[in-house]
Amino acid sequence: MENSVKWLIRHGFLPHGKETGITGQWLGQTLAHLMRQGQSLEQLSEQQWMEALAQTAERLTRHSSVPGKESLIDPTKNELPLIQIDPYIRGIVRWLNMMHIYTICSCDGEGRRPAELYFLHDLSAEQLTIIRACAPKRINVRFNRHSGRFQRLLLHYDPSYMGDLLVMAERLYDVWRHPEQLFVYRLEAFKRRLISLLAINGPSGREQQVRRHLQRRLRSKAAELHIDHYGNLLATIHCGGGPTVLLSAHIDTVCSFPPDPRPRVQREYAARFIRHFRADDRAGIAAILELMNVVRHSRFHGTLKIAFTVQEETGCLGSRHLDRDFLHDVDAAIVVDRRGTRDIVISNGSTPFCPDEYGQLFEQAGALAGMPDWKTTTGGLSDANVFASFGIPSVNLSVGYQNERTEDETLDCQAALETVLLLETAFDQNLLSPFIEQRTTVQN
C-alpha cells in the first residue's frame, strides 16, 4: 500500500478523498497547506503527517463550528467528530463505525494506559471476532462493562509500539472493504495461539504443564474452574437459562517432546500446514479456546461446560474417571478430536454415539457457515465413545490433523479454524436447543 493511501486509512480518512462535512474540511485544508509548502503526502513520514493534521485541526476548531466531544455524539444520527478523536485511535473508531459497530467514546491512552472504546450497543459474537482478529499480536484485547452500562473495549499495547493501533485501523479498513479478509487475519492469530500450545509438554500421565497453562487461560472466562480427582481440568461458563452442552478435548500427547519441539511450517502451502506430532489434540484445545472467547456474546442461551481430559491416548482413562457430578446435568457433548476435515463422527461402526438428528445439526451448521460438505460418519475410539456410554448424545468433530502418532503428523491450520466456524455457527444459531428440548420432552 502506497504511503499516501496508508496514511489516510490509518487515520480514518477515505482514500479516494470523498470526505464531507467537518472531516472533509479538515482533510482538504491539511492537504492544501502541504501543497503550499511544496510537500506531498507521499513524501511525509507518518509523524509529519500526524503533526500536519494536528496543526490544521487546531486552526479549524478555533475558527469554525466544530461538533462537541465524541461522547456527546450519537454516530447513528450525527457526523462522527473525527477531528476531536485522539490521533492513534481515530482510524479504529472510523472503520468500526463504518461496519456499524458504533462507538460513543474513545481514548488512545497517550502511551501511558490502555486505549479505550465504549460502544453504543452490546457487541455480537461476529463483531467481537472482527475486533480480535484485526488486533496485531502485541495488542491484548479485553472487554468489560463500564459502570454497568456501556460495554468497554480495552486495548493493552506496548507504549514503544503505539503504531500498532494504526496498523489495527488499517486491518479494520481491509475487513470493511473486503469482508473475506477477516478469515485471513483470524487464521494468522489462530495459528499463533496453536503454535504456543504445541510448545507445551504433556505426555499421558504427566499433563501438569499444559494443564497449568490452560488454568491461566480459563481463569478469567469461567465462572467455575477446578481439577477433578483424576486430573481432568473442568470449567463452566453460564450464558443464561437453557441446555447444558459439554465441549471436550484431551490435553495429553502420545510421548514426550524430542530435543527440538519447534513446529515445522510447510511454507510451500503458504504456511497453512504445520508438521508437528502433537497436533492430536492441541488443535482441539485451540478450537475450544477460540469459541470461549465469543460464546457469551453469541445467541446461545444455556450453560457451556469444558472438559480438558487427561490420558486419552492410553485408553480414554481421563474421561472414564471424570467427575460424574460435573456431568450429571449435561444434555449433549461435542468432542473436538477427529483427524481429517469435515467429519462428524456419530458412531464407532457398531455403537451409535447419538441419534442421527444430533449429528445432522452439525451438517446444518456447516451449510449455514458456507461449508456444506460437513457430513456424519463412523470413527474410532475417542472420548465421545465414553460420554455416549454415560447416556450423553455425543459427536466427535474433525479438527485438521493427519497421520497422528507418526513423524509425519501434520496440522491443517485452516481446517482447524473452519471447525471453530462450525462451532460458532451451531452456538450462535442456537441449533442444539430444539434437539435437547425435544429429547427432554420425550424422556419425561
pLDDT digits (tens, 9 = 90+) for 248-300: 999 998 866 554 455 555 443 446 888 777 888 999 999 999 999 999 899 99
Neighbours of 203 (CB within 10 A): 17
Cis-peptide, bond into residue 281, ω within 30° of zero: yes
Q: What is the per-residue burial (b if ≥16 Cβ within 10 Å, else e) of 420-441? A: bbbbbbbbbbebbbebbeebee
In the sheet with 140-146, reading across from the earlier edge strand, the strands are 103-107, 115-119, 150-156, 140-146
The secondary structure element, H or E, covering residue 146 is: strand 140-146
How far is residue 295's CA from residue 430's CA, in Å, rounded to a whole number?
11
End-to-end CA distance of the chain: 63
Residues of the chain with pLDDT > 90, as a percent, come to 64
Q: What rounded mean pLDDT belongs to the chain? A: 89
What pLDDT was estimated at residue 21? 86
pLDDT digits (tens, 9 = 90+) for 201-251: 888 999 999 999 999 999 988 999 999 999 999 999 999 989 999 999 999
Place of cell 463500564: 146
Query: In the chain, what is the greatest distance between 2 CA atoms, to the nearest angstrom?
Result: 82
Please tell me the pTM assigned to this model.
Answer: 0.90
Phi, psi of 43 (to 5 degrees): -85, -15
How far is residue 174's CA from residue 186's CA, in Å, rounded to a whole number?
13
pLDDT digits (tens, 9 = 90+) for 333-383: 999 999 999 999 999 988 999 999 999 999 999 999 999 999 999 998 899
What pLDDT was estimated at residue 108? 94
The SS3 of residue 349 is: coil
Bridging pattern class, strands 375-378 and 343-347: parallel
What is the CA 27 to chain-centroid distance, rounded?
35
What pLDDT was estimated at residue 215? 95
